[in-house]
């Protein structure tokens, strides 16, 4: 669905992932012809890589943490800038089993950066580690598809 929407508009996407560990990029590239719409992906599991590779400001990390809407938004902006894609989609959060930054497993943020601006969606997911990461990928794709449809409707 995402691929078709992007392809019809001549647009592209890149992913910046933390807790999903590359699974979002995998799903985005499973579609035949995805090389025309997927520019690339970056897995920045370690905090320092979010800062050094994606350009997430240290102030964002210090003030909000990496499990935050602010970090998800900065990651999405960073990968969009890094790759030159029309859109950047990011995932960050806690897959478990332990909490991180005082947040329980299932706390997830999806970031989206594109021509219309930057936004994020907070999720509270349930399940084991693998279920949380799968749900995070599904949610990221749904958030992105909804945003593309909204933009299409707005353009008329």
pLDDT digits (tens, 9 = 90+) for 35-44: 999 999 999 9
Whether the predicted pLDDT of 156 surpasses 60: no
* pTM greater than 0.95 (yes/no): yes
pLDDT given at position 155: 61
CATH of domain 2-150: 3.90.950.20
Of 96 and 154, more confident = 96
d(CA 58, CA 135): 28
pLDDT given at position 151: 83
d(CA 40, CA 47): 20
User: What are the residue boundaries of the structural domains of the chain, listed by start?
Assistant: 2-150
Average pLDDT, the chain: 96
Beta bridge partners of 144: none
d(CA 29, CA 45): 20
pLDDT digits (tens, 9 = 90+) for 60-100: 999 999 999 999 999 999 999 999 999 999 999 999 999 99
């Amino acid at each position: 669905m995402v691929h078709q929407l992007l392809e019809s508009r001549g647009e592209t996407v890149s992913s910046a992932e933390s807790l999903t560990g590359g699974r979002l990029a995998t799903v985005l590239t499973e579609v035949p012809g995805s090389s025309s719409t997927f520019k690339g992906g970056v897995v920045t599991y370690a905090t320092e890589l979010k800062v050094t590779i994606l350009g997430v400001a240290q102030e964002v990390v210090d003030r909000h943490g990496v499990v935050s809407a602010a970090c998800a938004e900065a990651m999405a902006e960073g990968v969009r800038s890094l790759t030159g894609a029309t859109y950047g989609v990011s995932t960050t959060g806690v897959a478990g089993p332990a909490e991180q930054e005082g947040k329980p497993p299932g706390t997830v943020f999806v970031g989206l950066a594109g021509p219309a601006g930057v936004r994020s969606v907070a999720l509270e997911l349930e399940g084991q580690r693998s279920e949380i990461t799968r749900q995070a990928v599904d949610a990221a794709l749904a958030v992105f598809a909804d945003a593309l449809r909204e933009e299409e409707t707005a353009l008329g």
